[in-house]
Structure 1
């Protein structure tokens, strides 16, 4: 399989699928495209041959069959690899894990807009300013902490649904990167979970690649002048 992704420093959606595949040792070839979203760019030219959505990530089989969107990719991987606990084995835990992923997938617009993923950056002052300015961002952060804390308490941790890292953890890995970059405040349990995510081998490998990338795209650097 091939996984098309964007810059590791910025592409939060790409991070989910890449981390999930790496965490379960599922072999794939990485094809990284520069996340330059201008009409006619090499990014769009490369994707137009593999997916009508023209977005990353997209997972492509050897025969050209493509699956795009992070939720669809997670479900496809789970079906292709039933031996891997992509989702929890127990039905109710599985339903709750899907609920968390769907809420992340569709929501938290203030967090996405105010604190775009930028792994290389340290923007704690910006994070404090954004939190003070935007009640919606504060609500997003409170809701994320609630989701994490409830799941960890119910499962016993260390991951959201117990002893095994799964799709829900991969989906929230980009949120942990935002917490890290912008110094967003969390309670002890949620902050400890962020630390565990950072140290997971698949997440740590993505971070290491992002830090060595050094490919700065102005459209993805709204706060660079403030650093």
Structure 2
């Protein structure tokens, strides 16, 4: 047991769980992950028992309880400054936080139309103009940041910003939302990350299917 416990739910569907989990895992931080599967029909009582918002992820550290993926990442970054969850230069760190907050608060058309789903057989999905606009904005972020940093990730080394966009990689892949070579190359690098592979394998092995989360 460690003194950090991250509460998550179904790995196949929970994009917010993936963000916090992957940031911590990629940084080599020791933590316990406790999974509370969705129980939508009953109102998710297990999640509500641990989370003040009724949602996950939630990080528990002694008497401290932190909810919301980006807040968890910030807490971990302050707790372990040596792991460089954010880029070191102040200007890059500010941009990394800006695009991470944009991910946290935006792209609702994409989220609603294309739920994260690691078990989905990749196939194209007809999407509306709002989803296309979200895809284009995300690809612009990826392209500009990798051009500035030189890659392989958004700010050179893997950072919290990459973890924040990791669920989008699944969405772009399984719904075949892009054919852009630069985007596909970045997606391949994320999908080759050991933390991604560990999460993907666990997600695909889960027995649970939640109605309404399958597209």
- Would you say same fold, with TM above 0.5? yes
- 5+ residue gaps, structure 1, are none
Give the counterpart of 2:10 among 4, 7, 19.
7
TM-score normalised by L of structure 1: 0.90
Corresponding position: 1:26 with 2:20 = no
TM-score normalised by L of structure 2: 0.95
- For residues 29-178 of structure 1, what are the structure 2 equivalents within 5 Å? 29-38=32-41, 40-41=42-43, 43-44=44-45, 46-61=46-61, 63-125=62-124, 127=125, 129-130=126-127, 134-162=128-156, 164-178=157-171
Give the aligned CA root-mean-square deviation in angstroms. 1.2
SS of residue in 1 equivalent to 2:59: strand
Distance 2:179 2:97 in 1: 23
SS of residue in 2 equivalent to 1:16: helix
Structure 1 residue 123 displacement after superposition: 4.5
Is contact 2:36-2:47 (8 Å) kept? no
Moved over 6 A (4+): none
Count of matched residue pairs:
212
SS of residue in 1 equivalent to 2:119: coil
Structure 1 residue 185 displacement after superposition: 1.3
Is contact 1:50-1:64 (8 Å) kept? no
Distance 1:187 1:208 in 2: 26
Match of 2:176 in 1: 183
Give the counterpart of 2:19 among 16, 21, 24.
16
SS of residue in 2 equivalent to 1:178: helix
